[in-house]
Structure 1
Amino acid sequence: MAGAAALGLATSASAADYYVDAAAGSDANAGTSPAAAWKTLAKVNAKTFAAGDRILLHTDQTWVEQLKPKGSGVEGNPITIGNYGGGERKPVVDGRNVAGGGAGGAAVSLVNQSYWTISGLEVVNDNGTDNVVGSNRVGILVNNTSGTLKRGITITGNYVHDVNGCFNCNGANGQTNGGISVVADTMNGLGNGASSWKDVLITDNVVQDVGRTGINFDDYSTGFLFYFVSQDALSKNVSITHNRLKDIDSDGIILRGSKENLIEHNVIDGAGSVTASGSQPGTVGMFVAKTTNTLMQFNEVSGVQTHVVDGHGYDVDLFAVNTIVQHNYSHDNEGGFILLMGGLGSGSDATVRYNLSVNDGFAGDKGIVSLSSGLLNGSKIYNNTIYIKPGLNAPPIAQQGWSGDNNNSWWFRNNVVVNHGTGTWAFPRGSGTTIANNLIYGNHTAGEPADPQKITADPQMLAPSDDAPSGIGNVAGYGVAPTSPAVGTGALIPGNGGRDYFGRPVPSTAPPTRGFHEAQ
């Protein structure tokens, strides 16, 4: 592992490195050199560390015990957990013997601490039981129950796998257990906002074969009860980036209770493989709720399964305000591409633009775009491309769980829909609806919207495939030729973000190309 200076970390005169060697160490040692390494994590957990300290576990070794060190760093000078030894395998922290229940049950645990970096570990936590109905289990859990603001948590470069988390949990919300979880608990259940986080970064981790959730951030202290959000109580500056998730029992990424958030460059391959009677049955690839000012971009989600509800790649859920979903790739998700959750007077201003959906909604009972339980006021769905291969009964748009009567403002503009399937359309009704400048080609099924600027000619896709390619960079074939009727015929939309899916500039003073590819 590189030195602190090479990592760009500030150091202090009193900071020290502490080494842990399960094979050659001894807890009687000082721990401050490889030759005098400690042996157990229990020895680590007994010490209170200070700013700039590093806890280094030897590669190619395993500890079947919990890692729960104490202390806090300071801004610019965190305490770091990392590795040394240069082996092929990261050090393994195995929490199989950690007791579950409540908000515990984690292999790696921090409680009420600030300015920590957790890096370079392999973490597992499977106690060998059927725990779908059982006790909380987490790979890496960072919790704030202090009644104060905590800051500066970075979780990076870890491999977290094989965590048998619960759905119906004893003393915990099932959505908070699984691979990596950062939580701010309420104070006595009152939701007074005192326990919150600022500056949380979860990046460059691999999370695989975990339940219930892959990566979770949750601030429960954002308002009294569930149906209220205090903006002043929200956590702030949460980033979940460059993570790879595979085969998650339920939701891939959850972010709730924060403002000024970034979710980007994540890949989710498979979610929603498990459900349990009596638990919240819905699964999505990634969703935000009780958030303000969130940017969700450059992600790929595929293989999400439906259990009763949902099954979409992306979800802007209850009480989410000013959410931008752009430049994402969604394919082969059973429920659909995106769910926008209205109702309860919640949320507003969801912008969904320059995304690609291929062969989503294949179960045929959800919408590729689902407007669920009401409409988010100010929703703008524009310049997306949707491709549906033959044989699918995927509804391009569906309004579900409500009457469809709506006077809130929302758009569906400049989209390209190539529909070779048989799914029908269902749009909300009301004066707030704007449907304009879309290109809809292929099968014109029941409910297809009227659009005075609609084009029904072949969009001349470059090389579309009925089999969606994996990899967010392998989708150029769904773009359009320069001679396409989509080129230069879209509605000019102010504040369009300035770029298409591929990074090509979008005109700011002239009509753009319809769909996710700016072909001019």
Structure 2
Amino acid sequence: MSTPAPRRRVPHRPTPRAATFLLALATAVLPTATAATAATTATVATTATATPATTTETRPRPTTTETRPRPTTTHYLDCTSGNDTSNGTSVRTPWRTLAKASTAYRPGDRLLLKRGTTCTGTLAPTGNGTPTSPIRLDAYGTGAKPHIEGAGARAALLLRNSQGWEIRNLDLSNTGPAPTPEQRRAGLLVLLTDFGVGRHYVVGHVDVHDVNGSDHKDPDPSGGILFVVQGDRTPTRFDGIRIEDSTVKHVDRTGIGTMSTWGRRTAYPDGPGTSFEPLTGVRIQRNDVRDVGGDAIVTHNADGARVEHNYVNGFNMRSAGYNAGVWSWNSDNVLTQYNEVTGGHGTRDSEAFDIDGGNTDNVFQYNYSHDNEGGFLLVCNGAGMTSKGNKVRHNISINDRNTEAPYGVVAVVCGPTTDTQVHHNTIVTKHPHTRMVSNNGQTGTTFRNNVFVGAPTPTGSPTVDTLSTFSGNLYLNTAQPRDPYAVNADPLFSVPAPATPGDVRLKPGSPARGAGTPEADGVTRDYFGNRIPNPPHLGAYQGR
């Protein structure tokens, strides 16, 4: 009997109906499948009725681009023991000269100068950092801050057309032979020329001293720490300047300043350049400025700058021009507060604070001015310019003076301003032969809620102003017959002859208590931090 041949096994092939079922099942189980995937499944299932399916699965390769941060480099400079043939990238192989270190740096790089050393000449590095990855210039080692002596160069430290820099813990000087009339010098000069917008600059714990530059004010000045915009082709400005915790001593001409050649606008129709490019993000804070030939701290072409918690002692010491302690030019919304200014020399301006040309909505508050030869406050708009909406409030002036007409402790001179408000200040002087308020024919200033105390002499300190508005001020040893709500009485200070801010606190029973009118300016605290009552007191003190 023969053995039957084994049956050939035929693979199962789904029918069209089964294919439809499989497609529905795939859609239910994999709801996120794409239409293309479902269509492919249907095609495979349908064609399986004719021939066996042979498919090749292709998985997409991941396409990822990994961005690795660029390695940063720290360079070292030792002007005593370094070697320019070294790589400069470790404390054991530092560079030696400023020329070698004046090279290009990249974001995140550092250049560190050895403490206890002195370099002579100019350090002029280049390169652009960013706000998040700045280039840092700092010190390493122990001992005194590294010193750069410019020896009469344009600057000891010069940054030209660079941005994104942080500079800390340096000692800069720049003393050369007696300068010619055009020989400008600076300690630190940051210069942008036809650059566009330069962003992020920090100067901290930098000491600048002994700079004997020429008597140039602007737009190309001499001085200590300077941020300057020049050029006339590409609109250029700074955005983000922070100068803090630094000292400036015995420099000519400007202590700390910003200047620009892009100042033309409606408020300054004859200004330089073809447009107004304001400097923004400017902060000048907690600095000590002493023995300055001209202006101590000045902001030009700024919008929204803050100048606060600075100490100034000695300005206009050598300049032949007009200077002030802290002031702005062609600037808007500048807040000047918590500064102490003293030691102003001379009577050509020389006031502690100055509302000058082209200023709009600037505020001077919570400042202390004392013993300045030029006085406390200057209101001086430039010819053909508009200066409006500025406020001087909650300040204290003790023993300021200006004995040269047409000035006084407060001087309203130059061109007229619009809506300048001077209120809740205490102004007291012991010096004879000075006017309390003086005006040479200008208008636009209102004085109210102030305390004016003149010198305790037979003639006192006269108020010579027949144009400004006076309303509700207290007067002692001075008078203003044009004030319809004048309080002519002793304010009863806690110390009859004040020498410090605390001395102008009011005793109980003072006629200045509760005699003021409220101000709709949103200010709730006085110079001392006291809450302002309603009605307020006259003057800067508002305590109980």
Which of these residues, 320, 345, 351, is aligned with residue 305 of structure 1?
Answer: 345
In 2, Cα distance between the equivalents of 1:132 and 1:368? 35
**Deviation for aligned residue 1:144:** 0.3
Corresponding position of 1:7: none
Tell me the number of residue pairs that the alignment of Structure 1 and Structure 2 aligns.
Answer: 469
**Deviation for aligned residue 1:493:** 1.0
In 1, Cα distance between the equivalents of 2:448 and 2:489? 17
Residues 94-138 of structure 1, C-alpha deviations (whole Å, 9 max, x = no match): 10052xxxxxx01100011111011111001011x2226240100
In 1, Cα distance between the equivalents of 2:69 and 2:311? 38
Change (3 A) 1:226 1:300: farther
**After superposition, where does 1:138-217 map in structure 2 within 5 Å?**
138-167=186-215, 173=218, 176-187=221-232, 194-217=235-258
Asked whether 1:411 is paired with 2:449, we answer no
**Deviation for aligned residue 1:220:** 1.6
Which of these residues, 365, 368, 387, is aligned with residue 428 of structure 2?
Answer: 387
**Deviation for aligned residue 1:453:** 2.3
Q: Secondary structure at the match of 1:291?
A: coil
Letter in 2 for 1:70: T
Corresponding position of 1:373: 414
**After superposition, where does 1:224-243 map in structure 2 within 5 Å?**
227-228=270-271, 232-243=276-287
Corresponding position of 2:26: none
Corresponding position of 2:506: 480
Kept after mapping to 1: 8 A contact 2:473/2:485: yes
Q: Secondary structure at the match of 2:361?
A: strand
In 2, Cα distance between the equivalents of 1:226 and 1:141? 28
In 2, Cα distance between the equivalents of 1:132 and 1:500? 48
In 1, Cα distance between the equivalents of 2:231 and 2:509? 57
Change (3 A) 1:428 1:234: farther
Asked whether 1:265 is paired with 2:309, we answer yes
Kept after mapping to 2: 8 A contact 1:27/1:43: yes
Corresponding position of 2:326: 286
Residues 43-102 of structure 1, C-alpha deviations (whole Å, 9 max, x = no match): 111x31111111110011000121000101012211011001021x1100010052xxxx
Letter in 2 for 1:14: P
**Deviation for aligned residue 1:464:** 4.7
**After superposition, where does 1:9-48 map in structure 2 within 5 Å?**
13-45=70-102, 47-48=103-104
Residues 418-451 of structure 1, C-alpha deviations (whole Å, 9 max, x = no match): 112533212242xxx542221112x235xx2432
Asked whether 1:360 is paired with 2:360, we answer no
Change (3 A) 1:267 1:449: farther
Alignment RMSD (CA, Å): 2.1
Q: % of aligned pairs identical?
A: 30
Q: Secondary structure at the match of 2:373?
A: coil
Corresponding position of 1:92: 147
Residues 125-158 of structure 1, C-alpha deviations (whole Å, 9 max, x = no match): 011x222624010000000003411111111111
TM-score for both structures, normalised by structure 1 = 0.86
> Structure with the greater relative contact order (CA < 8 A, sep ≥ 6): 1 or 2?
1
Corresponding position of 2:159: 110
In 1, Cα distance between the equivalents of 2:341 and 2:452? 19
Letter in 2 for 1:131: P
In 1, Cα distance between the equivalents of 2:281 and 2:174? 29
Which of these residues, 296, 300, 312, is aligned with residue 256 of structure 1?
Answer: 300
Change (3 A) 1:60 1:270: same
Asked whether 1:503 is paired with 2:535, we answer no
Q: Secondary structure at the match of 2:92?
A: helix
Letter in 1 for 2:174: N
Q: Secondary structure at the match of 1:335?
A: coil
- Unpaired runs of 5+ residues, structure 1, are 1-10, 99-104, 470-474
In 2, Cα distance between the equivalents of 1:384 and 1:454? 15
Q: Which runs of 4+ in 1 moved over 6 A?
A: none
TM-score for both structures, normalised by structure 2 = 0.82
**Deviation for aligned residue 1:30:** 1.6
In 1, Cα distance between the equivalents of 2:345 and 2:127? 41
Asked whether 1:399 is paired with 2:445, we answer no
In 2, Cα distance between the equivalents of 1:496 and 1:428? 30
Letter in 2 for 1:198: D
Letter in 2 for 1:124: S
- Which structure is larger by alpha-carbon Rg, 1 or 2? 2
Which of these residues, 480, 483, 490, is aligned with residue 451 of structure 1?
Answer: 483
- Unpaired runs of 5+ residues, structure 2, are 1-67
Corresponding position of 1:70: 126
Change (3 A) 1:125 1:440: same
